[in-house]
Amino acid sequence: MVEQVDVSARAAAIEYAIRDVVVPAVELEAQGHEIIRLNIGDPLAYDGLPTPDHMVTAFKAALDRQDNGYGPSYGIPELRHAITSRERSKGWDCSTDDVYVTHGVTEALQIIFAAFLEEGDTVLAPGPHYPPYMAYPQMYGGTTVEYRLDPDDGWRIDLDDISAKMDDSVRLLVLINPNNPTGNVATPEEVDALIEIASLWPKCTIIADEIYDGLDFTGQQCSVASRSEEVPVIVLNGASKVYFAPGWRVGYMAWHDPQGRLELVRDGVERLLRSRLCASTPAQHGFLAGLTDDTGWLEGHRATIRKRMDYCLDRIETIEGLDCEAPGGAFYLFVSITNPKMAADDKRFVLDLLHQYHVLLVHGSGFSPEFGQGHFRMVCLPPVEVLAEAFDRIEAFLRG
């Protein structure tokens, strides 16, 4: 037996439920089974939701003119300007210096956690949440504590729970709006109340993950930065969801720091950004076209998603054993398994469904051990015929 080299505890602890469940799915595919994959929030994986042509053309044009070199560490100037305009249009005084282009929001998160967190610090994040909010902070000595989203009230933010969990160790308070996995959209009043709570804790900065902002079906989604006069807010967004180009790996953070509290941490962030060189140059040109050209095309994509989401909600309503709070935005459903025996082990539920009926979901506890248990997350991005087949299989599985 070869003696194994040790893995670090920090790497061994990383979990990403959305892709971890793909491992058994790939094994089944290798045996010749066709799996309906409803696990990953990638619109390009399904028919009918392509990256817009003008963005693809701009990406290709950058390649053709050999714009393939390293770019500036904070992003190409034209893109930083366009992002600034986008953020200003949402009602806050963003300047180009406030904008940093990254390899997607996911890289921005790693950089933010690396710059903010020391041993013993806390990130207060919604439960349930997008998994990196739990996985990454521990790499920098931090701990993620979850605040409760109310499962019986559309996964609304429990503001009392946030208040109860705030203390001086909370360096970052996270709002994902619209939320992944629940689809809840916070009202402007809830956003104001959250800012009010944060304002009592001067070491606290808000992370506003607004990557699904254009997929709000309630009409009430608002920019957190536009509503904060004192509390620092780091806005996160990018090309992945609303511009339908997740594989390009382009995103940004925009820093709203009205009182100038973050100068030191910002210096750290800029050092980290310089040390990782830059984001993909041609992809930045593609995203730039998305930001500067007409966005009328988005209505069609939104309507497609809405139709598919409504179909899923209708089906769930007729299936005994499932229940779901209707989402206000994004493209996920966070479905409650109502049979207590099945709900007790949601990962088992997902794996059994996968092995027996070849439908791939993600277990709810992968989005929050505390608040996600007894649920699964599915994307409602595939065409209705695919969703229909998936629900037929889920229904058969539940009937046993």
Residues that bind ligand PLP (CB under 6 A): 41, 104-106, 130, 176, 180, 209, 211, 238, 240, 246, 251
CB of residue 358 to ligand PLP, shortest distance in Å: 23
C-beta separation of 61 from 273 below 8 A = no
- Copy the structure tokens of residue 90: 């949402």
Beta carbon nearer to ligand PLP, 337 or 379: 379
CB of residue 261 to ligand PLP, shortest distance in Å: 24
Beta carbon nearer to ligand PLP, 241 or 358: 241
C-beta separation of 136 from 376 below 8 A = no
Beta carbon nearer to ligand PLP, 284 or 358: 284
CB of residue 252 to ligand PLP, shortest distance in Å: 9
Closest CA to 121 of 141, 101, 107, 102: 141
CA distance linking residue 281 with residue 270, whole number of Å: 18
Q: Which residues of 1-134 form beta strands (DSSP E)?
A: 36-37, 99-102, 122-127
> What are the DSSP calls for 240-287, one per residue?
SSSSS-GGG--EEEEEE-TT-TTHHHHHHHHHHHHHT--S-HHHHHHH
Residue 149, beta-bridge partner list: 157
CB of residue 33 to ligand PLP, shortest distance in Å: 26
CB of residue 390 to ligand PLP, shortest distance in Å: 20
CA distance linking residue 128 with residue 332, whole number of Å: 13
Burial of 244 (0-12, 13-18, 19+ CB in 10 A): buried
CA distance linking residue 256 with residue 95, whole number of Å: 9
Beta carbon nearer to ligand PLP, 238 or 321: 238
C-beta separation of 369 from 347 below 8 A = no
Closest CA to 356 of 395, 318, 312: 395
Beta carbon nearer to ligand PLP, 105 or 342: 105
Question: Shortest Cβ contact with ligand PLP: which residue?
Answer: 104
Beta carbon nearer to ligand PLP, 238 or 282: 238
Beta carbon nearer to ligand PLP, 116 or 130: 130
CB of residue 275 to ligand PLP, shortest distance in Å: 19
CA distances from 254 to 235, 291, 359, 370 (A): 5, 15, 38, 31
CB of residue 5 to ligand PLP, shortest distance in Å: 30
> What are the DSSP calls for 350-387, one per residue?
HHHHHHHH-EE-EEGGGT-TTTTTTEEEEE--S-HHHH
Beta carbon nearer to ligand PLP, 251 or 329: 251
CB of residue 69 to ligand PLP, shortest distance in Å: 23
